[in-house]
């Protein structure tokens, strides 16, 4: 898995800054993303589902502060963008 920059993607429709994390956590975040399952076997599963599951994992690992009100608001925004929720 190479490094990529979503900000340079021609196909991304929206990018939401969720929170700041120390640079020392980048490796752990990449590892969590590599290990997070992608459930293509579920109809309707999409990138928002993957990201929300990854965020949950990062919260459990203490990498993201789930009690931060700004983060909570942004996570709710991403949750609202899931297919079938609009």
Nearest 5 degrees, angle CA 86-CA 69-CA 11? Answer: 45
Burial annotation 2-20 (CB, 10 A radius, 16+ → b, else e): eeeeeeeeeeeeeeeebbe
Task: Answer yes or no: is 4 within a domain.
Answer: no
Q: With a cut of 50, which residues of the chain have pLDDT below it?
A: 1
Give the count of domains, the chain.
1
Task: Answer yes or no: is 2 within a domain.
Answer: no
For residue 43, the model assigns a pLDDT of 87
For residue 2, the model assigns a pLDDT of 59
**What stretches of the chain show up as alpha helix (H) in DSSP?**
26-35, 47-60, 69-80
Task: Answer yes or no: is 52 within a domain.
Answer: yes
For residue 8, the model assigns a pLDDT of 83
Rg of the chain, C-alpha, whole Å: 13
For residue 81, the model assigns a pLDDT of 82
Q: What is the pTM of this model?
A: 0.81
For residue 46, the model assigns a pLDDT of 83
Closest CA to 15 of 69, 78, 86: 78
Q: Which domain holds residue 86?
A: 40-86
């Amino acid at each position: 898995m190479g490094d990529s920059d979503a900000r340079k993607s021609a196909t991304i429709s929206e990018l939401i800054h969720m929170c700041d994390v120390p640079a020392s956590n980048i490796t752990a975040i990449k590892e969590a993303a590599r290990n997070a399952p992608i459930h293509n076997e579920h109809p309707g599963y999409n990138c928002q589902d993957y990201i929300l599951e990854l965020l949950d994992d990062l919260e459990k690992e203490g990498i993201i502060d789930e009690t931060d009100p700004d983060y909570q608001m942004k996570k709710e925004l991403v949750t609202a963008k899931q297919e079938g929720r609009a």
